[in-house]
């Protein structure tokens, strides 16, 4: 693994300033950019560690606090080990914060994050890659359709509500996507039932999007997150192999 440096940065947006974590190889040379979209629990030590691992493979990684409108991270105080079944008040506090992040706001933010990466001397010229977790998987797909000129590849893991029957469903952007996509779905995930998995696959195939969608058997929603009760070491390592393979192919 390449030695990595990490630091806190502020990213100006149309609605304020988003605090973020930036990880990059220590030599300071420009590398392909990766925008990492958080899960519902937000920017915290575990996501910083994930960014460090991606940076160690030769990338410059930005992890913004998507909830910056409510304050700097952590917006909601979290225990070191997150078990929502034992601490139901976590989601009671997070629910309103998540609902505040509308798709319109999220895509305004995406423009800011992608623009910041494009201007950074630590990021090489050209489009970037996205990886997202839980709610971040949804945002990765939306961003790939919103800014196809800036996104070369996008991955999403244990995403929810990716292909609903609503008019704002993320799968409806498939016709605008030019990036290669990869999705690693959690098995038996209430937020992504089989009919949504099938609908997503059909939409991507009919749109001619280069993609692969896989269900990780036995993995729960949130399986990549080592600081939560949903973590699966097997599923997480499979995710790392798939993600890094996608980045290697892209860059």
Active site residues: 134, 189, 221
d(CA 180, CA 251): 12
**CA 15, 17, 23, 27: dihedral to nearest 10 degrees?**
110
Token pair recorded at residue 168: 């704002």
Answer yes or no: are the C-beta atoms of 164 and 196 closer than 8 Å.
yes
Sequence-ordered list of residues with C-beta below 8 angstroms from that of 200, at least 6 positions apart, any chain: 162, 163, 171, 183, 213
In three-state secondary structure terms, 251 is: coil
Residues, the chain: 251
Exposure string of 160-180, with b = 16+ CB inside 10 Å and e = fewer, is bbbbbeeeebbbbbbeebebb
Tokens of 190: 């209430």
Q: Checking DSSP bridges between strand 60-64 and strand 16-25, what pairing results, if any? A: antiparallel
């Amino acid at each position: 693994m390449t030695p990595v440096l990490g630091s806190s940065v502020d990213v100006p947006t149309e609605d304020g300033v988003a605090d973020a974590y930036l990880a990059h190889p220590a030599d300071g040379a420009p590398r392909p950019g990766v925008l990492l979209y958080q899960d519902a629990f937000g920017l915290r030590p575990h996501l910083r560690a994930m960014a460090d691992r991606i940076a160690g493979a030769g990338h410059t990684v930005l992890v913004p606090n998507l909830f910056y409108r409510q304050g700097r991270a952590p917006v909601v105080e979290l225990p070191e080990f997150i078990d929502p079944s034992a601490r139901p008040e976590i989601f009671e506090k997070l629910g309103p914060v998540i609902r505040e992040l509308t798709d319109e706001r999220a895509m305004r933010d995406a423009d800011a994050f992608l623009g910041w990466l494009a201007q950074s001397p630590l990021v090489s010229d050209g489009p970037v890659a996205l990886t997202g977790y839980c709610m971040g998987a949804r945002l990765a797909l939306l961003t790939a359709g919103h800014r196809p000129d800036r996104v070369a590849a996008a991955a999403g893991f244990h995403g929810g509500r990716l292909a609903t029957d609503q008019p704002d469903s993320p799968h409806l952007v498939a016709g605008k996507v030019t990036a290669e996509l990869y999705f690693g779905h959690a098995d038996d995930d209430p937020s992504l039932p089989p009919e949504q998995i099938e609908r997503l696959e059909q939409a991507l195939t009919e749109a001619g999007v280069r993609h692969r969608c896989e269900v990780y058997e036995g993995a729960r929603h949130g399986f990549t997150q080592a600081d939560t009760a949903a973590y699966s070491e097997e599923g997480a390592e499979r995710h790392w192999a798939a993600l890094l393979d996608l980045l290697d192919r892209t860059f």
